[in-house]
Structure 1
């Protein structure tokens, strides 16, 4: 088929310049040139300053086919440009969690042929090689970063892919450059049973491989028995995930007969509006009439306790719109309404539960047994003691506060001192002990900062004033309250290990998750980690 023709009224060189009065500005390098109704100066600029740009000789009122216009002025695909394109394709695969089969798609081939007609689309083997090079480069950068920190915390959890393979992902958290940083260390397929011994071996091996032996302060995990046992005989503290512990506690509360019936009734009501287009549209109409927020009802998910709080809050907000819809016989049958309507006792219980659930939802501190003095040395309490917002520990009783402070002072000499300096302590004796106590007392005299201020930023600004305590702050404040960072990896990992990627080896799964979460999701690598 003969291509259509387009009439060209201006020289092609104008594709690379903007006109401004008696000057033109190059779109490529922003250089300003004089303009006197001739394109000669502009053509010479492109010819000598931008040799990779091709411009056809001047020929006013020429006829060009559309296919020629598509490639007019394009850059030659030099070997360097071809290699850069290949690297970018590899980044697309890792950044967008695409299968390697993406490069075999006809649509992608057509798109790339339009942009780079001279470029030969690489094979999967070539793209895999580039991903491996990116992974090696990123691992090297991360090792260099981790070598500069003294304390880290890790989180760990297991997940199962569609291929039924079991994986364990470890994330790492540390304080550097005045902020808490997080990264994925590795994702490994577990061919053996998830026994405590196997998990402990995997954790220890990973820590050693990354040069973190002696630096790990704590491992945050769910309350699974095998994870608790795996962290029992290691050189770090075992910290149960706050969110998971809270989930278990609330699930137990929901087992109460009255609450269980309420949650069930609310779930059925929400489900009705989710599955009935007529009811859903009627609810929107009543919301407008009653001037209520145009919010959808929230469905309860048993694995997410806060979804219950959201469901009840939304039902309470939309109570009268829901009541009107259920009372309208043109929308809801009488038999359905009798089954779905909440009684007054239900609404009363919802009003009583909401403040409690909302408080739990916004809680950010791990709930531990605050009456057991054995917990005085636990990381959550020591972290609270080092938090300039909560250092007075007013949420504890007096006996527990004193126990935490005593434990703190007893350990400050060892914990706040690098290993290489500990042997020098014998030369200072009580002087070092008194210096530590003075620093602690001075810290307590400082006014508390507002709850919404950044704790890490405060320590970053006051490191020189509290050198010993600052080191302790880096140790205890890097421990996350939840293992959610590890869980967030699952969604990305699940995208990788789906049916289109079922042929990926565990090593390549590890590489893709590692690159995606570290290069593209973590601020500490955003500026300089791209290979």
Structure 2
């Protein structure tokens, strides 16, 4: 390659390498120096070595002209090619760094693997990395990383279950868009880390089922999941909805059954509304709300115009959905707030019936009796973990609030009567014995004010029997030498002394003060393990059982984002892997 006068003046490769200056002011055209690191290179009219150095050591500087992908960025990239004679390439380390975050993003947010083939994503990452030659990892690479993530997280969950002393399960069934039936099972444990109790809830499996949905098959599926994860001997309760099949399946299982109180409450409200004759007015409310949701003109132009008056905010109308809790109350509340805005719906333009004054009063009375149900439903079905010890206090609050709330109108009285009768029948399926013991072990409700006075001593007697059984079981599990020391520490082997010892331990817990309802019972027990060693074991057992089966409901909401119409052909193994991994990663991030 011949050196021109311009090359001698400005150096090599667009001025990125300059000729070495001599002491007399001249230049040595056989030695060049990098302007970025001041390293010297022998120059024999070939710039190959210089290109390699620029690509390996100063790639960021060489890409200054290629910071954009389109328009001027492409022109500057061509200018860079002319100056250096090469296009920058993504190093292997950069490709690996991109593959892992992409796999985490796909698994965490339930994105399809084909997203790595999207040109829009590739262009966005080219701009972010300032690399016009960037190539995204293939689907096979991402799939392998996701499989490795699943295996790693599964080992962590197996370790947590192995360390847990008690495990509570919740389960539910779900049908995909291609009519495939799945059963989802979630585990709940009270884990101990550095002496501190904390609650963990994570999915175990989403298992496709081919057999009929009857009680025997449902029970068999729960047992197969328990055996698969090695927790059959640790299971305390299994929480499900209150359907007949779930209740019948629980009779075939050797575990305690915990029906979902939120499902029972929702069913009671639905039956009460139908029997009290509210279906007609609710159907009219549904029709009015549907009118404004029927077209974009009605929603975006007519509704704000009818709601526009001083001091009133525009309300977005809601229609009730049979499977959505509190949706009926939300629909009524929105319509009542904007009832004056719908007074003109009966005109010739729409021919739409409006609510009469009698119907408005009827809805107002219905709202007052439904508000307590909303409070209990949101309390038991919230985002945070709610132990089963909250169920009885919440139901006591519901009964008291419903009695004192609302007017004495015929509609309100009739609804309360039907609601009380229906709820009493549905609540008979609850595991009251388990709920009572869990309530007395919760330091927030240990005074048992939610129960009648004659029932409270029976609960304490039951707890004393459980404590005695727990102490005996602990002694039998100890080695022979330690067992003798424990027996000697009783000062006597008589049954009366042992009974007195357990009674003293129980009385020590009874004199403890109750804590605020906003405090965490797990933190209270973790700070008093030394004082109430045996009772703390029972507390961990009973308080780890959740109040509802809402975790499984959310699990299938997550699965609905994975098994869509475009991804209906996913195999059951991939569905299980993606649902579980997304749940595990979110659970890890929320710690």
- Quick check: 1:299 aligned with 2:319? yes
Q: Which residue of 1 aligns with 2:385?
A: none
**Contact persistence 2:89–2:134 (CA under 8 A):** no
CA distance in structure 1 between the aligned counterparts of 2:369 and 2:277, rounded to whole angstroms: 16
- Quick check: 1:101 aligned with 2:121? no
CA distance in structure 1 between the aligned counterparts of 2:37 and 2:93, rounded to whole angstroms: 26
Q: Which residue of 2 aligns with 1:67?
A: 77
CA distance in structure 2 between the aligned counterparts of 1:464 and 1:270, rounded to whole angstroms: 59
SS at match of 2:159: helix
Q: Which residue of 1 aligns with 2:333?
A: 313
**Contact persistence 2:176–2:560 (CA under 8 A):** yes
- Quick check: 1:275 aligned with 2:340? no
**Contact persistence 2:63–2:80 (CA under 8 A):** no
Q: Which residue of 2 aligns with 1:444?
A: 510
Where do 5+ consecutive residues of structure 1 fail to align?
Answer: 1-10, 14-38
Of stretches 85-94 and 150-159 in structure 1, the one that deviates more from structure 2 is 85-94
Where do 5+ consecutive residues of structure 2 fail to align?
Answer: 1-13, 17-33, 40-52, 66-71, 381-389, 396-422
**Contact persistence 1:250–1:305 (CA under 8 A):** no
- Quick check: 1:244 aligned with 2:310? no
Classify 1:414/1:374 alpha carbon distance in 2 versus 1 (closer, same or farther; 3 Å): farther
The correspondence of residues 425-464 of structure 1 with structure 2, limited to 5 A, is: 428=490, 433-464=499-530
Of stretches 178-187 and 191-200 in structure 1, the one that deviates more from structure 2 is 191-200
CA distance in structure 2 between the aligned counterparts of 1:68 and 1:381, rounded to whole angstroms: 77
**Contact persistence 1:52–1:75 (CA under 8 A):** no
CA distance in structure 1 between the aligned counterparts of 2:550 and 2:499, rounded to whole angstroms: 38
SS at match of 2:203: strand
Shift of 1:359: 0.7
Greater relative CO, 1 or 2 (CA 8 Å, sep 6+): 1
CA distance in structure 2 between the aligned counterparts of 1:310 and 1:255, rounded to whole angstroms: 18
**Contact persistence 1:159–1:166 (CA under 8 A):** yes
CA distance in structure 1 between the aligned counterparts of 2:80 and 2:231, rounded to whole angstroms: 54
- Quick check: 1:199 aligned with 2:199? no
CA distance in structure 1 between the aligned counterparts of 2:137 and 2:295, rounded to whole angstroms: 49
- Quick check: 1:522 aligned with 2:587? yes
**Contact persistence 1:163–1:498 (CA under 8 A):** no
Q: Which residue of 2 aligns with 1:173?
A: 188
Q: Which residue of 2 aligns with 1:344?
A: 357
CA distance in structure 2 between the aligned counterparts of 1:522 and 1:12, rounded to whole angstroms: 54
CA distance in structure 2 between the aligned counterparts of 1:300 and 1:59, rounded to whole angstroms: 57
Classify 1:123/1:283 alpha carbon distance in 2 versus 1 (closer, same or farther; 3 Å): closer
Q: Which residue of 1 aligns with 2:467?
A: 412
CA distance in structure 1 between the aligned counterparts of 2:429 and 2:277, rounded to whole angstroms: 36
Q: Which residue of 2 aligns with 1:138?
A: 153
Shift of 1:402: 2.5
**Contact persistence 2:122–2:135 (CA under 8 A):** no
**Contact persistence 1:376–1:403 (CA under 8 A):** no
Q: Which residue of 2 aligns with 1:353?
A: 366
SS at match of 2:527: helix
**Contact persistence 1:377–1:408 (CA under 8 A):** no
- Quick check: 1:89 aligned with 2:89? no
SS at match of 1:184: strand
**Structure index of larger Rg:** 2
- Quick check: 1:395 aligned with 2:442? no
**Contact persistence 2:238–2:258 (CA under 8 A):** yes
CA distance in structure 2 between the aligned counterparts of 1:165 and 1:319, rounded to whole angstroms: 44
Shift of 1:118: 5.7
Q: Which residue of 2 aligns with 1:505?
A: 571
CA distance in structure 2 between the aligned counterparts of 1:58 and 1:395, rounded to whole angstroms: 71
Of stretches 460-469 and 131-140 in structure 1, the one that deviates more from structure 2 is 460-469
CA distance in structure 1 between the aligned counterparts of 2:180 and 2:513, rounded to whole angstroms: 53
Of stretches 253-262 and 184-193 in structure 1, the one that deviates more from structure 2 is 253-262
Q: Which residue of 1 aligns with 2:411?
A: none
The correspondence of residues 19-30 of structure 1 with structure 2, limited to 5 A, is: none
Of stretches 508-517 and 82-91 in structure 1, the one that deviates more from structure 2 is 82-91
CA distance in structure 2 between the aligned counterparts of 1:503 and 1:276, rounded to whole angstroms: 34
Shift of 1:311: 1.6
Q: 1:471-509: per-residue Cα shift (whole Å, max 9, x none)? A: 222111111111111111112212222233233221111
Shift of 1:221: 0.4
CA distance in structure 2 between the aligned counterparts of 1:451 and 1:58, rounded to whole angstroms: 60
CA distance in structure 2 between the aligned counterparts of 1:502 and 1:195, rounded to whole angstroms: 25
Match for residue 59 of structure 2 among 41, 45, 54 = 54
**Contact persistence 1:187–1:509 (CA under 8 A):** yes
**Contact persistence 2:258–2:430 (CA under 8 A):** no
CA distance in structure 2 between the aligned counterparts of 1:271 and 1:102, rounded to whole angstroms: 36
SS at match of 2:559: helix
CA distance in structure 2 between the aligned counterparts of 1:12 and 1:191, rounded to whole angstroms: 71
Shift of 1:247: 1.3
Classify 1:393/1:69 alpha carbon distance in 2 versus 1 (closer, same or farther; 3 Å): farther
Shift of 1:151: 1.4
TM-score by length of 1: 0.78
CA distance in structure 1 between the aligned counterparts of 2:465 and 2:428, rounded to whole angstroms: 15
SS at match of 1:438: helix
CA distance in structure 2 between the aligned counterparts of 1:350 and 1:410, rounded to whole angstroms: 50
Classify 1:258/1:55 alpha carbon distance in 2 versus 1 (closer, same or farther; 3 Å): closer
Of stretches 289-298 and 63-72 in structure 1, the one that deviates more from structure 2 is 63-72
Equivalent pairs counted in the alignment come to 477
**Contact persistence 1:413–1:436 (CA under 8 A):** yes
